[in-house]
Amino acid sequence: MNDVTNRIQGLIDSNDVVLFMKGTKEMPQCGFSSRVAGVLNYMGVPFQDVDVLSDAEVRQGIKEFSDWPTIPQLYVKGEFVGGCDIITEMTLSGELDQLLSKQGVVFDQAAADKIREANA
């Protein structure tokens, strides 16, 4: 494994939930990153944000690491979950709740329910 792969693996291994995104969770720099970070923030999911705009190696490396062409990318307990469309679908279907629960990740169930009610 090369240096950037080791760095990415280290971030994924040392955090239960990691979002590789454009910008930060406080200041997303693209709509897709904003949507996923917004869902996680609203649901109270503790997560590590990794700003790929501030690190070109990670920006390219994460795409090769996951074999997924777009940013953002969400990892839960070391497992690649998906990008914006997948996370949006999983949130609305309740699959994200199930995954977080199964993995022992704390989140606000009432907030997750509110997202679904607002989008029903």
pLDDT of residue 60: 95
Enumerate the known binding-site residues for [2Fe-2S] cluster: 30
Which domain does 48 fall in, by range?
3-118
Cα–Cα dist 106/16, whole Å: 10
Query: Binding site: residue ranges?
Result: 30
Q: What is the pTM of this model?
A: 0.96
CATH number of the domain to which 59 belongs: 3.40.30.10
Q: What share of the chain is helix, strand, coil (3-state, %, to 5)?
A: 55, 15, 30
What's the CA gap between 75 and 26, in Å, rounded?
A: 19
- What is the chain's mean pLDDT, rounded? 96
Reported as a pLDDT band with limits 50, 70 and 90, residue 120 is confident
Helix (H, G, I), strand (E, B) or coil at 68: coil
Name the pLDDT band for 105 (thresholds 50, 70, 90). very high
| DSSP per-residue codes, 107-120 | --HHHHHHHHHHT-
Residues 10-55: tens digit of each pLDDT:
999 999 999 999 999 999 999 999 999 999 999 999 999 999 999 9
Domain count along the chain: 1
* Whole-number pLDDT of residue 94: 97
φ/ψ (deg, to 5) at 64: -75, -40
DSSP 3-state of 69: coil
